Structure 1
Amino acid sequence: MLQGTASDVGKTVLCTALCRIFKQDGFRVAPFKAQNMTLNSFVTLDGREMGTAQALQALAAGVEPRAEMNPILLKPKADLEAQVVVLGEPLADMTAKGYRQDYLPRARQVVQDCLQVLQSEYELLVAEGAGSCAEVNLKDGDIVNMFVAEAAGLPVVLVADIDRGGVFASIIGTLALLTPAERDRVAGIIVNKFRGDIDLFRPGIEFLEERTGKPVLGVIPYLEHGIAEEDSTSISSHRARPGEVEIAVLKLPRIANFTDMHALAQVPGVSLRYVKGGEPIGRPQAVILPDTTNPAADLAYLRAKRYDLELAGLHAGGVPVVGIGAGCYLLGETLVEMDGTSQAGLGLLPLVVTLGQESGGVRVEGVVTRACGDTWQGLEGTRIAGYELRGGRLAWTGEVQVFVELDGQPVFSGSPEGTVLGTQVHGVFHNPALALAFVNKLRRSKGLSPLPAGDCRFLDQEAAFDRLAAEVRQHLNLPLLYQLMGIAPSDRAC
């Protein structure tokens, strides 16, 4: 089990790498995170919702994602409130205090039951903790760190981020705050996100091992891994790279499923920029309104920051505007809330949206049966996949063009001229053919030649998992890790 000295130390990516490494070494492996607070979710084949990170870890392990791998999903809706999703089904909206008081005792049993199921069906479990494992004020309600390690009998590897500084204090301080039994369960340490000359850090490794009595299992370099990250801090730290084509994403206060944009950032020549509150949108080649957990509040935000005027001006100038998920709701004429109150939308699409309780997720998979317009020509017969999280009822009030259709179901719809597009399908741009078609539309608008189909390789998820595993394997003392796990060399296929 990987636990961290803090949030965003890289536990998720390292768990993904280990899932692929153990798969390569011949094991049937499953990921696990007892409780995940995230705005990025995934829909399983049976229509259940789970964290995107654990879904990606399952795919890296070569197994189908299932809700037991992330039994409790917390989806923030306001500063002190979140939707609680248990085993893939919405339970209720709860405050942090209400959750701890009213549901936590039941949550422990759910976690234990899922651990038993997964350990009975898989040879190895790669469990991920949350935040810091030494949050003393939250320890009595822990169901995701040492509680899991003890319940499942897992050795713990402590992960620290050297890039943010203070790595020695964070490791030693974390271990000091654990109980003796918890400290004994920590089998080793990984120093993550290292930049520089490893030889200059060797005295630091020796100091850590001598001071803690724990082996340093690896010093992992800062990796450009190409795997979508779920932590919202990844948006804050995101830096747009230079590119021939700029795509601006409005960082809504209640942004959700921002991994939808990750694939576009991997396309050669694309500069993906998050527009944070108060910053001008500028003159990008396209603007994306991402998914949001609170469309009404974020629509009011757009007006308060006068982004509605900027978007109207960009649209008038022919700049494509794309809404994904609930971001599409904001593009319409009217947004009706559950209590019957309404407010005017951005007015870019002839659409009235009535909000309702989220009705669960639906996987979307199939073959493109219809593709209209220059942008999408030639996509017929292309297999694509994604998922929908249905939280509103859409009613078109005027002319609308379906540009891409999947077995009779609209994937991209919008204004007849194609400059305003909406989709309810999350992960749509993770389909290489769709991402490339969209980017090439933007390239043509600048007089640039289109990228060839061969440049879809940047979106090959399997190749990305293999590259990540190779990098981590190179810098990790894997024989020692297997030894600490009680696995003999003869038990491994590789």
Structure 2
Amino acid sequence: MAKCIMVQGTMSGAGKSLITAALCRIFKQDGFRTAPFKSQNMALNSFVSADGLEMGRAQAVQALAAGKEPDVRMNPILLKPTGEKKSQVIAGGRVMGEYSASDYYNMKKQLVPHILKAYEELAAENDIIVVEGAGSPAEINLRAGDIVNMGLAELINAKVLLVGNIDPGGVFAQLYGTVGLLSEAERKRVRGFIVNKFRGDKDLLKPGLRELASLTGIPVLGVVPYTDAKIEEEDSLSAGLGRKCHEKLIDIAVIRLPFISNYTDFDPFDRSRHLGVRYVDEAGLLGRPDLIVIPGSKNTIEDLRWLKRKGLFKAILAAGKNGSDILGICGGYQMLGKRLWEPESGDSEEGFSFFPQSTEFRPGKLTRQVKGRFAAGPFKGLCVHGYEIHSGVTAYCGDGGP
């Protein structure tokens, strides 16, 4: 059975995913068979494994760092928000259903055997499992029934590293306060602190590190410098989604839908010195960009209504008439047609009508890896591969040719 170490954080955005990926790579380089594990992830960015199962992108990246193919057992439960208090629950890579926050909270215990089975199978195949927590272990209102932080650590008897983010300030309060809210048994699991995202002179930090260790009895194991690692973000807390302007040659405006999904599709644009990406959620901020991108959505009909309420629907139409190109991806592409509808509920909404097509949403979705080849242009003949997460059937509905 594998040994395990668990990375928990003082908050979302502390850097748990990056530290977990780094440990996976370090242990691999040291010759250990290593795998990542996160019992429950909440994200609208997801990955499809080779066998067509859906899992968190962070665990896919961590798997590659460990030299492994992404495996849905590394993230047995994935929650994808579909409303203010509702999420699609994906268990073992397949949709289990949609549940309200309270209903899911009440059913979590039923998922423990599924989580432990996935963990134990990985542990039998590896030397080390690097486990990632979620949010903060100090959410004392959620302590009962916890399956992702200290509750999971107890189930698998994991030692814990606690990561704090110094970049916004207050890291000593983060770490001290988190430990102070843990039970005595939980505190004993914390074997060390990691101060993440540090900029500046470490010598000026050392007195604080010594005092923190003295106050808590827990050593500071390391200070990780701030780095722009270019690892894909896993949720809507990404700092990039707040970018309102840029100074690059080509202006790309991505519509920041409330239920935007897989927005990491646009990360390659950020790596270009000529392409500037900004995220727009107000009609007055759209302007006349070179390209408008309507991205994928986890709730396409509701996001289309949001565009209309915010005035962005009319603003996009006007910008298109004034020369802006418009690109729809996944749910955004479905919005470009005439109509979106869901027969089961009777819900429907009129789209942009750029194309003579309509989309019908049916139960279930398609998840698979795909390969293709450029048929024309400067990349003709080049092979590409990716994956598809697709809901709805889009069909031609015009009178003439497409």
Q: Which residue of 1 aligns with 2:386?
A: 386
| Alpha-carbon shift at residue 186 of structure 1 (Å) | 0.7
* 1:355 and 2:361 are equivalent in the alignment: yes
Residue 278 to residue 9, structure 1, CA distance change in 2 (3 Å): farther
Q: Which residue of 1 aligns with 2:207?
A: 203
Q: Which residue of 1 aligns with 2:3?
A: none
Q: Which residue of 1 aligns with 2:373?
A: 367
* 1:129 and 2:133 are equivalent in the alignment: yes
Q: Which residue of 1 aligns with 2:100?
A: 95
| Alpha-carbon shift at residue 261 of structure 1 (Å) | 1.4
- In the TM superposition, what are the counterparts of 1:173-192 in structure 2 within 5 Å? 173-192=177-196
Instruction: Give the Cα–Cα distance (whole angstroms) in 1 for the partners of residues 313 and 78 of structure 2.
Output: 33
Instruction: Give the Cα–Cα distance (whole angstroms) in 2 for the partners of residues 148 and 290 of structure 1.
Output: 35
Q: Which has the higher helix share?
A: 1
Instruction: Give the Cα–Cα distance (whole angstroms) in 2 for the partners of residues 157 and 93 of structure 1.
Output: 33
- Tell me the alpha carbon deviations over residues 319-368 of structure 1, each in whole angstroms, 9 at most, x when there is no partner: 22111111111111111223344322012222211112232411112433
- In the TM superposition, what are the counterparts of 1:269-418 in structure 2 within 5 Å? 269-338=274-343, 339-368=345-374, 370-371=375-376, 377-397=377-397
Q: Say which of 147, 151, 154 aligns to 1:150.
A: 154
How many residues align? The count is: 395
Instruction: Give the Cα–Cα distance (whole angstroms) in 2 for the partners of residues 281 and 79 of structure 1.
Output: 25
Instruction: Give the Cα–Cα distance (whole angstroms) in 1 for the partners of residues 384 and 400 of structure 2.
Output: 22
Instruction: Give the Cα–Cα distance (whole angstroms) in 2 for the partners of residues 176 and 64 of structure 1.
Output: 39
Instruction: Give the Cα–Cα distance (whole angstroms) in 2 for the partners of residues 316 and 400 of structure 1.
Output: 23
Instruction: Give the Cα–Cα distance (whole angstroms) in 2 for the partners of residues 400 and 37 of structure 1.
Output: 44
| Alpha-carbon contact 2:241-2:256 (below 8 Å) kept | no
AA aligned opposite 1:356: R
Runs of 5+ unmatched residues, structure 2? 1-5
- Tell me the alpha carbon deviations over residues 440-479 of structure 1, each in whole angstroms, 9 at most, x when there is no partner: xxxxxxxxxxxxxxxxxxxxxxxxxxxxxxxxxxxxxxxx
- The percent identity for this pair of structures is 43
* Structure 1 consecutive aligned stretches of length 4 or more whose deviation exceeds 3 Å: 235-241, 397-401
| Alpha-carbon contact 1:358-1:390 (below 8 Å) kept | no
* 1:110 and 2:110 are equivalent in the alignment: no
Q: Say which of 17, 26, 30 aligns to 1:21.
A: 26
What is the RMSD computed on CA atoms of the aligned residues?
Answer: 1.9
| Alpha-carbon shift at residue 317 of structure 1 (Å) | 3.0
Q: Which residue of 2 aligns with 1:262?
A: 267
Runs of 5+ unmatched residues, structure 1? 372-376, 402-414, 416-494
AA aligned opposite 2:355: L
3-state DSSP class of the match of 1:140?
coil
| Alpha-carbon contact 2:145-2:151 (below 8 Å) kept | no
* 1:60 and 2:65 are equivalent in the alignment: yes
Instruction: Give the Cα–Cα distance (whole angstroms) in 1 for the partners of residues 153 and 371 of structure 2.
Output: 36
Q: Which residue of 2 aligns with 1:246?
A: 251
Instruction: Give the Cα–Cα distance (whole angstroms) in 2 for the partners of residues 36 and 238 of structure 1.
Output: 25
AA aligned opposite 1:72: I
| Alpha-carbon shift at residue 236 of structure 1 (Å) | 4.8
- In the TM superposition, what are the counterparts of 1:42-61 in structure 2 within 5 Å? 42-61=47-66
Q: Which residue of 1 aligns with 2:163?
A: 159
> If the length of structure 2 is used for normalisation, what is the TM-score?
0.93
> If the length of structure 1 is used for normalisation, what is the TM-score?
0.76
Residue 122 to residue 378, structure 1, CA distance change in 2 (3 Å): same
Instruction: Give the Cα–Cα distance (whole angstroms) in 2 for the partners of residues 336 and 127 of structure 1.
Output: 41
